[in-house]
Amino acid sequence: MFDRLDNTPSSDATWMWSGSCWSQEPGFGGHPVFGSALAPDPSTSSVVAYGGWDATALDGYVALYDTWQFRAGVWSQLLGSGPKLSGPTAIDDPKLGGVLVIGAGAHAEETWLLSKSGWRQLHPEHSPPSRLGASLGIDPATGALIAFGGYVIPKDAMTNTWRWTGSDWLLETAATNELHLPPSGLVVADRHSLWLLAGAPYSNQLELWRWAAGTWVWVGSSTLGPRLLGFGAAFDGREILVFGGLNEASGAGATLNTAEWAWSGKSWRRLH
């Protein structure tokens, strides 16, 4: 996990989850940033962080374009000419052998690949409309790389879904939202399914959708999950973990969430 702690601009922190507890890793040495695109890079046994927002700016939407690599417990900056994308999202693309990054360019949504040879812009025939903060995931059942949602300033949410073929983006579900999908969410995969996690309108009660046969299918839970906004999620090899964000079930308004929740594929449980 890498991001800013509390509201302190300079507190970029790196933490590792062992399966039962968090441990703090060496700090980030770059310019204070939040909202970076983060993805594993198996080809270099590292984690890549790209871009994000300047945490010291009075305007919260001043983009940064640095690329950093976390390897063997140390952050190091990758030099060289890279993209200039706002609100980027990243994912390991095993078919292309690198980290795929999408984000809002100067005039349109752009698609880039970071591999051992450096940055390379891809030029698909079709692309999703320009947006910030889309979510990416790979369906373990089909190997399809899926992009969901995102927003344009000031937080006009998008609910369409696109599929990456390796060379082009194809629209899977339209922006008219006949499926009544939530206005924002995170896409994360476990060993069997690709999930969409999102807070329900007005309550932010976390709901789940599963990608199946080219569409999202709502999935009920046998237990009630958290009420969160702006959370993070990842698969730890056993369960999908949810952490951070704002907790709206405290009874005292939105407060910073410090609890971990786990989704087993059927039910929620709180870890801490």
Domains of the chain plus CATH, in order, are 1-123 (2.120.10.80), 137-160+179-272 (2.120.10.80)
Q: Residue 203 burial by CB count (10 A; 0-12/13-18/19+): exposed, middle or buried? A: exposed
What pLDDT, on a 0 to 100 scale, did the predictor assign at position 222? 82
Highest mean pLDDT among 105-109, 143-147, 155-159, 207-211: 143-147
Selected residue with higher pLDDT from 200 and 145: 145
Reported as a single tens digit per residue, the pLDDT across 234-250 is 999 999 999 888 776 55
- Identify the three-state secondary structure at position 25: coil
What pLDDT, on a 0 to 100 scale, did the predictor assign at position 204? 77
Is the pLDDT at 101 greater than 70? The verdict is yes
How much of the chain, in percent, has pLDDT values that exceed 70? 89
Is the pLDDT at 154 greater than 90? The verdict is no
- Cα distances from 90 to residues 4, 107, 147, 181, 253, in angstroms, run 18, 20, 10, 22, 32
Q: What is the mean pLDDT of residues 166-177?
A: 81
What pLDDT, on a 0 to 100 scale, did the predictor assign at position 251? 52
The strand ranges marked E within 9-154 are 12-17, 22-24, 33-34, 37-41, 46-54, 63-71, 74-78, 86-93, 98-104, 109-115, 118-122, 135-138, 145-148, 151-152
What pLDDT, on a 0 to 100 scale, did the predictor assign at position 252? 56
For residue 110, give the nearest of 94, 95, 127 by alpha carbon.
Answer: 127
Q: Return all residues near 90 (Cβ < 8 A) that are at least 6 apart.
A: 37, 38, 39, 48, 50, 99, 100, 101, 136
| Whole-prediction pTM | 0.90
Is the pLDDT at 115 greater than 60? The verdict is yes
Pairwise CA distance, residues 160 & 172, whole Å: 8
